[in-house]
């Protein structure tokens, strides 16, 4: 330390830079940030395509969880959104073919159209395991269905969601509650076996998971079921 012309000069070392982990570097502008994870998009243009990734904070590896394309007046043929996190688990909802179905249904009987595809991707960002779970997989004919869906996620390896019932190609207000546990398989995946748990006038705000116990309200009555 020296005094020169009333100024204090310090021979201190250069200030240390705060190191930001590879995952935390994407917090700004991210689609979802929690204590444990970051979900962020990487965009290319043209055409405008956003690939979404999930990673474990602060420096975990990024995992591709879906693609979202800029749509037209008829919507988009590739969507990803509806993100949800539970500790190190992340769920994303994706679809393909919705815009094609919208156009086809406008001019033809929907029975002549191709099905849109909907699914939920669940990733454990800590163990780097993932699975793709079909949604609306049992529709008898193509239908324009509400999507994304109401979803509950548990860090104990379980996911539940609500999807609308259909009558032919028409969507009804009757809701179906589906759920599955996630069983580790190999080094990088889960297995899932979705099953319909209940159907009827289910309150979407009541659907929740605590561990692997599923809770919901139908017709103003509380229900619960242990998932296996």
Taking only the tens place, the pLDDT of each residue in 113-142 is 999 999 999 999 999 999 999 999 989 999
What average pLDDT does the segment 73-88 reach? 91
Q: Please report, for the chain, the start and end positions of each structural domain, with discontinuous segments joined by +.
A: 20-226
Q: Provide, for the chain, the percentages of residues in helix, strand and coil under a 3-state DSSP scheme, each rounded to the nearest 5.
A: 10, 55, 40
Give the largest Cα separation in the chain, rounded.
88
Hey, how many other C-beta atoms are within 10 angstroms of the C-beta on 218? Answer: 16
pTM of this structure: 0.89
Q: Please tell me whether residue 111 adopts helix, strand or coil conformation.
A: helix
* Cβ proximity of 101 and 113 under 8 Å: yes
C-alpha distance from residue 171 to each of 97, 137, 167 (Å): 18, 14, 6
Taking only the tens place, the pLDDT of each residue in 139-190 is 999 999 999 999 999 999 999 999 999 998 899 999 999 999 999 999 999 9
**pLDDT score, position 92:** 98
Percent of the chain surpassing pLDDT 90: 82
């Amino acid at each position: 330390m020296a005094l020169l012309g009333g100024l204090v000069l310090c021979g201190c070392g250069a200030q240390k830079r705060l190191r930001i982990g590879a995952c935390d570097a994407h917090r700004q502008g991210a689609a979802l940030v929690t204590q444990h994870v970051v979900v962020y998009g990487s965009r290319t243009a043209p055409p405008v395509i956003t690939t979404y990734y999930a990673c474990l904070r602060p420096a975990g590896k990024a995992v591709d969880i879906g693609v979202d394309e800029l749509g037209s007046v008829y919507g988009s043929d590739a969507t990803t959104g509806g993100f949800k996190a539970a500790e190190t688990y992340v769920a994303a909802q994706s679809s393909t073919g919705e815009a094609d179905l919208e156009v086809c249904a406008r001019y033809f009987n929907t029975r002549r159209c191709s099905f849109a595809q909907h699914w939920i991707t669940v990733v454990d960002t800590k163990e780097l395991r993932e699975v793709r779970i079909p949604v609306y997989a049992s529709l008898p004919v193509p239908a324009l269905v509400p999507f994304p869906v109401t979803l509950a996620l548990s860090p104990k390896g379980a996911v539940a969601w609500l999807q609308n019932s259909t009558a032919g190609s028409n969507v009804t207000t009757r809701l179906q509650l589906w759920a599955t546990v996630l069983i580790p398989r190999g080094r990088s995946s889960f297995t899932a076996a979705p099953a319909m748990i209940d159907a009827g006038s289910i309150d979407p705000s009541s659907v929740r998971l605590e561990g692997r116990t599923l809770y919901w309200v139908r017709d103003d009555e509380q229900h619960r079921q242990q998932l296996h």
